[in-house]
Amino acid sequence: MRYAYWPFLFMTVFAVATSAAEPKEEVFTPLFNGEDLTGWVRTNTPPETWTFNEGMLVCSGKPVGELRTEQMYQNFIMELEWRHMVPKGNAGVFIWADDITARGVPFHRGIEVQVLENAYGNTRSHTTHGDIFPIHGATMTPVNGRGGSRAFPTEERSNPSPEWNHYRIVCQDGAISLAVNGKVVTKGKDCSPRKGYICLESEGGIVHYRNVRIKELPNTPVDPKQVAIANRGYRSIYNGLDLSGWTGQPETLKAWRASDWVLAFSGPRIGIAADFSTSERFGDVGFVFDAKIKENGESLHVRVRNAAIDTTDAEIAKHLDPVGRWNRFEGTLRDNRLTLTVNGHEAFKDQVREKVTDRGPITISATGPTDLANIYVRDLSVATK
């Protein structure tokens, strides 16, 4: 009788062994709810750039800019499907990015996973099949590089417009890999930052996204220097499409124009009445703006609640880059005290300014052709997450 149990025992052991051998189903969390941008921040793009159609995220491509997650991520697996709707379309997925865009560009510092349409073409410097590269101050050691910091795919696997493509991006301890349509083709390592935000890029062409999801992996100790800049509460006050939110006399508005991500002044200056101001009025405020003066001898004048920032000021001028290059201004105005850095160098620290209003606009005037970009503000009375 005891032998009658052997078949049952064998079947039980076989079932347990088979169950153990089967891979566990991966559990992912959707990054979009299919209806709105809950969980995401429109860093420097307006609502018109990102819409939903039957649960699919549609990017208009205009203006050039970014959409980022509210949450920072370190180790994770991300999957998404994408397709370009126009030949030579350009876009990207940014990994481990800062909270706002980098100086003089409409993109974040981070690691970019390229999303290019096939008709864009392949060259020695890029491909349309899933390059990975650090951008705007980030660093990465490529696997399968060509002498620079860009990692190139080992196979050409992406589909042309309007076909769908599938990306699987694995990020672990500063290493990143990309599988295109089911096969790993591109890798990088030694990334910095290696913790930050995830971004989707708008860059001129219509692109669709669906089934965007993430599986977080256990975090590991990370050097604070390798963590991206966390949310400081900034929001963009220039939409990249038109002059909404800005006011001025008719002749002033003719001199300023929305040139995609750049707010451009054509000059020449037409007097103090030509001031170009925000419609919104601010109290205690933090601000960022990038400026490029395009001709020698010209200058830029910005007033925050009547506290002047003038590029002819000696404490500012000594930190400016040469004409034709972008400069970043970042500061705060609390009560009547102005703090300002120019290209990362301190110009003023809690400097008392006279005749500052309790609330007021940001006002800009220039003496000659000037470009502005990355214009952000943050309310200093509101704590950031």
What Cα–Cα distance (Å) separates residue 203 from each residue in 7, 20, 89, 175?
64, 46, 8, 26
Is the pLDDT assigned to residue 2 strictly greater than 70? no
Percent helix, percent strand, percent coil in the chain, to nearest 5: 10, 45, 45
260 with 335, same domain: the answer is yes
Query: Rounded distance, CA 340 to CA 331, Å?
Result: 4
208, 228, 248 - which closes a domain = 228
- 223-267 pLDDT, tens per residue? 999 999 999 999 999 999 999 999 998 888 889 999 999 999 987
84-102 tens-digit pLDDT: 999 999 999 999 999 999 9
> Is 137 found in the same domain as 241?
no
Q: What's the confidence (pLDDT) of residue 267?
A: 75
Full domain range(s) for residue 358 = 236-379
- DSSP label at residue 86: S
Model confidence at 381, in pLDDT bands (50, 70, 90)? confident
In this prediction the pTM is 0.91
**Tally of CB atoms within 10 A around 254:** 12
Query: What is the pLDDT averaged over residues 124-151?
Result: 97
Per residue in 302-311, pLDDT tens? 999 999 999 9
213 with 267, same domain: the answer is no
Assess if residue 50 is contained within a domain.
yes
Hey, what amino acid is at 42? R
Determine contact, residues 323/294, Cβ cutoff 8 Å: yes
Can you give the C-alpha Rg of the chain in angstroms?
Answer: 25
pLDDT for 383 equals: 56
Yes or no: say if 80 and 209 are a contact pair by the CB < 8 Å rule: yes
